[in-house]
Chain A
Amino acid sequence: MNASSVLHDKVYYLNARIDYKLSDKVIDALQKGVPIVFKVEIEISRVRDYIWNETITDLRQRYQLEYHALTKQYIVHNINSGSRHSFPSLNVALSVLGTIVDLPIVDKNLLETGQQYNARIRAELDIDKLPVPLRLLAYLTSGWSLSSEWFLWSFQG
């Protein structure tokens, strides 16, 4: 995973590349029609010297991946924006899912110039969005809790 932020037109945009690796259980469930929801969390915090950092913004992006059996296509659905795209293979769908291009994250006005800001990003499979019977098992058994580490970077305000 890697990520960076660029300032363009007084808005910071996020560009990130997330490499999703699904377990067999998840792929099996996906191909049997269970929609899988991925959650991408982005946090930006201001670095303070003596006390804890101040959280400036806290973004959550949700993507739903599902298999359309009739057309044998994988559909990526951005829940936040509502856009849908279909792909003939899982790898293509995952690579599109893992590519975040120019996602506006924070307005420059909210940040102090010259100040050091920390940003971090994490992606995980949202178990809470699974069907209820599966959820308990997903909590209790391995192969379902798919979560990346926090990826950290910092930038100047």
Chain B
Amino acid sequence: MVIPGLRRLATGVFPIAALFILLLVSLYLMSAATQNSAEFGRLYFGLLLMNMLGLITLVTLIGINLIRLVRQYHNQVTGSRLTVRLVIMFALLAVAPVSVVYYFSLDFIQRGIDSWFDVKIEKALNDALELSRTSLDARKLDLLKQTEQMSRELSQIPNEQAAPTLNDLRNHGNAFELTLFTDNGHIIASSSADPSLIVPNLPGEAVLAQLKQGLNYVGIDPVRENELYIRAVVKIPESDPLAVTRLLQSLYPVSDRINILAESVQSSYDRYNELTVLRDPLKFSFTLTLSLVLLLTLLMAVLAAFFSARRFVAPIRVLAIGTRAVSAGDYGKRLPLHSNDELGYLVQSFNDMTQKIAQARDDAYRSQQQAEGERAYLRAVLGRLSSGVLTLDKRCIVRTANVAARQILGVDLKGCIGNPLEHISLDHPYLAHFVESIKGHLAGGRQEWREEIVIFSVGGRQVLMCGGAALPGASGRPAGHVIVFDDVTALVQAQRDAAWGEVARRLAHEIKNPLTPIQLSAERMRHKYLGLMDAKDAEVLDRATHTIVEQVEVLKEMVKAFSEYARSPHLKLLPLDLNTVIGEVLDLYRGDETTTEFDIHLASDLPRVEADSGRLRQLLHNLIKNAIEVSHHEGVCRIKVSTQYISDAGLEMIELRVEDNGPGIPDEILSHLFEPYVTTKTKGTGLGLAIVKKIVEEHGGVVWAENLPDNGAAITVRLPIALTIKKSVVSGELSSQKDNMSLRQTTARKDSSTRRRKA
């Protein structure tokens, strides 16, 4: 409570102003007291004390302010440096002129007081005093003689008759008072001009002592104030030496004129002499008063310097703090408005500025939020699109690419964003055709285009349906291009598979019906006419009918295969052990060890897989038969069958791999290998691997073929373990395609890695 009160006292304007006025008044009174004014004379010390206390208060206040300022300066409070400079400047501005005035005033006081004293004046006063004395001395001698004359007259008169004689003598000699008394001070008779005076004024003991030595006395006594009397005391000559010594004292008034003049000389002399005594004290008190005035002025000036500096700096300080806040990013800062001068205007402008900045920032923030929202929205939309989307700017630099684009192209497009379109094909040469096609369209300058582009990626042949459109930009010129592409490989494949299935079904239906009558007719013909013919004809007939029956049988087989391919599966899914199925199937192929060697690597930890055992057996038959057939003419055919459990990116799969030591698959048919009637063999329906693919897809798996490094080829089948298999063929195909997408990714990457190793 005390400290804030003190601070308010130290910083408030009104207490200080009141103190200043009080001190000024007391100084004025003190100055008046110094001028010897009787009224204030008594107050002098009180005033002096008050001024001292006032000055101490001022010094304390200045001290408080100074300490505060120094502390602020050390703490680097905003505006403190400017305040210090202003305080120093103001203080100097105040101190310098006041000091000059003080110096000269002091000089004037010293000289002024000194100038009162002059040797000539002193001498003149002494002379005047001496003159007065001399003139009085002459009169004194006259009167002494007159008194001596009177004493002689009285010497003959006895004491009893002295009074009337004294009266006569007094009247005659114009004396004020005549007194006859003994030398021990006993009054005998007295006569006075003033009847009110009963007791005569007797001389002092010193005078009596002088008379006892026989010397008459004459002197001037200031008997009454401002009234001089000449006192003459003489011894009355006695004829009788034994008689009591009698003395006569006469008092003569000095004439009024002389009295006044003498008194004037006396008082002037006194006054002058008094001043010589007071010379130094006067100088001292004038100097003291002047110093007090100066100190008061100085201290007030310094205090005023603190005040004005603080007041002056306050808005600047506020501005500095505000500016710092703004530079730190706080635009919500509003500065208090103190004055309506230029600084106030500055503060007002600052407030307006920060308000506008804050508004602009908020607007920018809002629009940014909006833009980001739209961007997130677009990203979500693009991310969920199954179509790949690429956007390019005017200079063909990739701006954005969605997830689908990455999946379709099999390229991590993140690294390509911000780079020219060609950058995509640098690491992936198989995309060069894709890039070239797009660039061709862009160069063509058409607003919209569509084209089917075929690329040969690691995953095999891919058919991409590409579409492009110019992005609208400022002033009607295209700001870039958007390219949308879909991987239609699977779709095309599915269409092709469906077409083949339809062909097979029709073929089977159309061909199967006439085959049995043909066969039956041929056999009937043979039964009926074989016995009737001669041996030569019978042999021809027998061969012909045999051929017919045989070929019909072959045709039946073919039709059966076709219908097998076209048949809608009714899968009976049961959990089964793949290794057991493999073992049972392989048993059928054993026995001819000279031509076929089996190399079997079955993983022991294979989990059960849900599959239709009949379809699975057919798949194995087809694969092994195919492997034996392709490597048959190579002498001993070595077939390696292996199974493996694969867990990749959350997908649990069983891998079945069948390798042969045949001539391998020509590159041109590698990607069409699983389509019907794609074969390198001279015999067979050409449906074997097509059916394999069909069965794998029915089970939600994936199959691919690849050439081995040395010779031979490998066909790999991957079947998912946990899978909900679609019952219908069409939906099953579609879903398996969708799943294949991710599987193909992994395989594609695997292949590219093996290829790189090969290189």
Contact = CB atoms under 8 A, between A and B. Distances in A.
A132 B284 CA distance: 11
A132 B262 contact: no
A28 interface: yes
Interface residues of B, number: 40
14 contacts: A32-B273, A32-B277, A68-B266, A69-B129, A69-B270, A70-B133, A71-B220, A71-B228, A84-B223, A87-B206, A131-B278, A132-B34, A133-B285, A136-B45
Nearest to B285: A133
A136 B281 contact: yes
A85 interface: yes
A34 B274 contact: yes
Contacts of A18: none
A132 B222 contact: no
B277 A134 contact: yes
Given A68-B222, A70-B265, A136 B277 contact: no
Contact of B129 (A70, A84, A139): A70
B206 A92 contact: yes
Q: Give the interface SS of chain A, mostly helix, strand, loop or mixed.
A: mixed
A68 B276 CA distance: 16
Nearest to B283: A133
Q: How large is the interface on A (under 10, 10 to 19, 20 to 34, 35 or more residues)?
A: 20 to 34
Contact of A137 (B132, B270, B280): B280
A128 B288 CA distance: 19
Contact of A132 (B136, B274, B285): B285
Interface string A50-92: 0000000000000000001111010100000000111111001
Contacts of A92: 204-206
A137 B286 CA distance: 12
B222 A32 contact: no
Given A33-B270, A69-B129, A135 B222 contact: no
B222 A133 contact: no
A69 B273 contact: yes
Contact of B132 (A28, A32, A34, A70): A70
Interface in A109-138: 128, 131-137
A85 to B, nearest CB: 7
Contacts of A85: 204
A92 B269 CA distance: 24
Contacts of B593: none
A86 B222 contact: yes
B284 A84 contact: no
B225 interface: yes
A70 B281 contact: no
Contacts of B350: none
Contacts of B36: 131-133
A132 B44 contact: yes
Q: Pick from B34, B136, B281 the residue with the most CB of A within 10 Å.
A: B281
B271 interface: yes
Contacts of A133: 34, 36, 278, 281-282, 284-285
